[in-house]
A and B are shown apart, each in its own frame.
Chain A
Amino acid sequence: MSGRAGGLAAVRPAGDRRFDEAVALIVLLAGVVLVGILALGVGPSGLSPARVLDILRAGPQTADFPSGEVIIVWQIRLPRILMGALIGAVLALAGAVMQGLFRNPLADPGIVGVSSGAALGAVAMIVLAGGPLAGIAALLGSYALPLAAFCGGLAATCLLYAIATRGGITSVATMLLAGIAIGAFSAAIMGFLIFSSNDTQLRDITFWSLGGLGGATWQKLFVAGPVMLAVVAAAPFLARGLDTMVLGEAEAFHMGLKVERLKRLSIFLVAAATGAAVAVSGIIGFVGIVVPHLLRLAVGANHGFLLPASALAGALLLILADMGARVLVAPAELPIGIITAALGAPFFLWLLLRRRDLTGF
């Protein structure tokens, strides 16, 4: 066995990191499962991991355990943790895909205004559902909010790409500045919508914009979950194209890539991921910038690895952040966005300074 392993290592050429990448993926997957089980037991009423596993095995209808514990695990914490894992996964994926598309490690839906666009879509749906959008809201039911957030995110991403990219070359400065403008403009319209909303709508908006996973229920999971799962499942199909894109659009074309198709798919994916996440939990920033960057530094930049690994590490990060949100100021709860921003914003600054030292930026 060891001889075989040695033989494998011998034929593996220098610079081929696929073996390390596979190991990292397995470790991350195990980490998500372990931390997920741990998180099910953490909270105002603590449960040991063994007890959590027993309750999970017994099923949601079991009478073998105190009903309070069953409800806490099955009805309160499990949907919340699954939702957190999915949101973390799609946010990190959206970041990784955007960075590949813009060929720039500073792109992130939260920083360049895509999340703001999605938030605007969501707020517009909440406020206008009683007026101009009543027909659409009635038709779509509980899908109206995610869909509106998706449309807002899509519009923002398309606008951003149109502004920041010229002749296949993306200007970082233009991208970041355009992101600020898109974010500010979205905020202005959102402000106006909130200003003109009635008390019920205002309560809905406040509840939604607090973000966090506190409101996660099985019902919400069934609405947004499939979209997010579809995003996670679709992302690997972009991997080879995004790898080719790292050299630039012209080179990607020379190597046989259908560049325009890849761009459209990537933009669609980013908008779907951001829209679904924002509709459920408000704006949770910086997951998409921290996770892919650390993975590239630690293991590798190949998108065949980076995309699934970002999904797993994003899930891991958000489960941990949510655990922190529940524990740090217990019995109260911190909005999870505060934790990710508190970790992510200094990280983003560090990244900026490092780039400035390297490239004069």
Chain B
Amino acid sequence: MPVTLDRVEVVLGARRILGPLSLSLLPGSLTVVVGPNGAGKSTLVRAISGERPATGGSVRHDGADVAAMPAARLAGLRAVLPQASTVAFPFTVYEIVSLGLRMRAGLSPAGRRRAVAAALAAVDLEDFGARLYPELSGGEQQRVQLARVLCQVGDAVGEAGPKLLILDEPTASLDVRHQLDVLSIAKDFAEAGGVALAVLHDLNLAAGFADRMLVLDRGRLAADDAPDRVLSSGVLTQVFGVAMTVLSPQGWPRPAILPDLSACRSAPRG
């Protein structure tokens, strides 16, 4: 059991933001979290990454409590792609991506160069090494950050077992092709034996790539199932308060979902 959540809850003052919820994230699968604004997605991600530990229950990575783990050890087990990162200083893309190698002490200089080059190639930015990060577009910056995160995790399975890759709304500023690229990278990571977790707003991307879909609503788990079953259950209509039609286009491997544009304001809120 690489990543297990046991009765995890986050309560701030009198407000319950998340949980209690218990689940396991398994190696080999890409889990996607969806839910309306304020459902607790980011809070869940922060609790799993150890950034803001849960106020109750425990998150364990290979049996070890994430809240009690030193930052350096956690950094060797999981990497997190943030929603957006601004950098105020003129660092080059190469320098930003190399930051991801900070905790990987065993690499030779040649190994470090190769790791950075491979990560830049993976995000389709081979020739961007010498560009200054603050001068890139939002989408390019996001891909540089993904390359940095890939440098940090290295292989999907390390000596200590499968690693965890967390992507927090990775597609927000990306064009459609690079949205697909990023999720393919997450999918490859899972297929190589790692644990992949992504927060997404785009339900079709979620349905297209997820092995498992978690639907959060007001801090609770409204659904936890394979994407096609989640889509057909009607839970999304209920949670988002928008009528949705599930389509199964001929020749498409996965179902697609369309919100009812005309009824979105008057749809019943579950």
B-binding residues in A (CB < 8 A): 11, 13-17, 99, 103-105, 240, 243-244, 246-248, 250-251, 253-259, 296-297, 300-302
Listed from nearest, the 6 A-B pairs whose CB atoms lie closest are A15-B94, A256-B75, A15-B129, A15-B92, A14-B129, A14-B130
* Chain B residues near A301 (CB-CB < 8 A): 89-91, 95
**A16 CA / B89 CA spacing, docked (Å):** 15
Q: Does the CB pair B75–A255 fall under 8 Å?
A: yes
**A256 CA / B51 CA spacing, docked (Å):** 11
Q: Of residues A15, A99, A105, A240, which shows the largest number of chain B Cβ atoms within 10 Å of its Cβ?
A: A15
A-binding residues in B (CB < 8 A): 49-51, 70-76, 78-80, 82, 85-96, 98-100, 102-103, 110, 113, 116-117, 127-131, 145, 152
* Chain B residues near A240 (CB-CB < 8 A): 102
* Chain A residues near B86 (CB-CB < 8 A): 248
Q: Does the CB pair B72–A256 fall under 8 Å?
A: yes
* Chain B residues near A297 (CB-CB < 8 A): 90
**A247 CA / B88 CA spacing, docked (Å):** 9
User: Knowing A248-B82, A253-B51, A255-B152 touch, does A15 contact B130 (C-beta < 8 A)?
Assistant: yes
**A256 CA / B70 CA spacing, docked (Å):** 8
With both beta carbons as reference points, the residue of chain A lying nearest to B75 in the complex is identified as A256
* Chain B residues near A13 (CB-CB < 8 A): 94, 113, 116-117, 129
Q: Does the CB pair A296–B85 fall under 8 Å?
A: no
Closest Cβ–Cβ distance, residue A244 to chain B (whole Å): 6
* Chain B residues near A99 (CB-CB < 8 A): 89
User: Knowing A17-B95, A254-B51, A254-B79 touch, does A103 contact B88 (C-beta < 8 A)?
Assistant: yes
With both beta carbons as reference points, the residue of chain B lying nearest to A18 in the complex is identified as B95
* Chain A residues near B95 (CB-CB < 8 A): 15-17, 243, 300-302
Q: Of residues B99, B100, B117, which shows the largest number of chain A Cβ atoms within 10 Å of its Cβ?
A: B99
Closest Cβ–Cβ distance, residue A222 to chain B (whole Å): 36
Closest Cβ–Cβ distance, residue A332 to chain B (whole Å): 41
Closest Cβ–Cβ distance, residue B102 to chain A (whole Å): 6
* Chain A residues near B73 (CB-CB < 8 A): 256
**A256 CA / B92 CA spacing, docked (Å):** 21
* Chain B residues near A11 (CB-CB < 8 A): 110, 113
Q: Does the CB pair A296–B90 fall under 8 Å?
A: yes
A-B contact pairs, 20 of them (CB 8 A): A13-B113, A14-B127, A103-B88, A105-B89, A246-B89, A247-B87, A247-B99, A248-B85, A251-B80, A253-B51, A254-B51, A254-B74, A255-B152, A256-B73, A256-B75, A256-B102, A257-B71, A258-B70, A300-B90, A300-B92
Q: Does the CB pair B49–A254 fall under 8 Å?
A: yes
Question: A247-B145, A248-B85, A251-B80 known; 15 other A-B pairs, CB under 8 Å?
Answer: A15-B128, A15-B130, A15-B131, A105-B88, A243-B99, A246-B91, A248-B82, A248-B86, A254-B80, A255-B75, A256-B75, A257-B71, A300-B90, A300-B92, A301-B90
* Chain A residues near B145 (CB-CB < 8 A): 247
**A11 CA / B128 CA spacing, docked (Å):** 16
**A103 CA / B91 CA spacing, docked (Å):** 12
Q: Does the CB pair B92–A255 fall under 8 Å?
A: no
* Chain B residues near A302 (CB-CB < 8 A): 91, 95
Selected contact of A247 from candidates B49, B76, B85, B116, CB within 8 Å: B85
**A297 CA / B132 CA spacing, docked (Å):** 11
With both beta carbons as reference points, the residue of chain B lying nearest to A102 in the complex is identified as B88
With both beta carbons as reference points, the residue of chain A lying nearest to B168 in the complex is identified as A250
Closest Cβ–Cβ distance, residue B121 to chain A (whole Å): 12
* Chain A residues near B50 (CB-CB < 8 A): 253
**A150 CA / B183 CA spacing, docked (Å):** 52
Q: Does the CB pair B88–A246 fall under 8 Å?
A: yes
With both beta carbons as reference points, the residue of chain B lying nearest to A248 in the complex is identified as B85
